[in-house]
Amino acid sequence: MNNHQQIDFRQMTAEDLNAVMKVELDVYPFPWTKGILGDCIRTGYDCWVITDQQKIIGHGVLSVAAGESHLLNLAVSPDYQGQGIGRQMLAHLMDIARVKSADMILLEVRPSNKAAIHIYESTGFNEIGCRKAYYPAPNGKEDALLFACQL
């Protein structure tokens, strides 16, 4: 296990996109593209990176509008998973949503992503629905579980 005394959060910049893409490609079977991430920065979404001694080890993207927030992406490098870092980023993004006067945060998660579901449920999220055939999958499409948490 690594010693993470230098874990930090900072806003993502366009200069971070290559390093962010490395994590994205390591984590997701159907990753976002560099263009999508760049659009999120340009659009003004809350885009954050997690760093360990300046090295990007994860990222999160949050949209806040009209009293609602939507967690769009949360990824932690496989080398750093299982150490509470994703949970710290989730708490950080939830704090941002509260500061921006959102009263709820929504997210979608693959039913197959048991580790993420555990984090969300233990953080106060409840499953409120299912989006059929939401995610690309090797054999077509995978549903998304819709979770919500009152802030």
Catalytic residues: 108, 120
Closest by CA position to 29, among listed 127, 146, 141, 145: 141
* Torsion angle defined by CA atoms of residues 51, 23, 143 and 41, in that order, rounded to the nearest 10 degrees: 70
* Spatial distance between the Cα atoms of 73 and 109, rounded to a whole number of angstroms: 10
Instruction: Please tell me whether residue 3 adopts helix, strand or coil conformation.
Output: coil
- CA distance linking residue 1 with residue 81, whole number of Å: 10
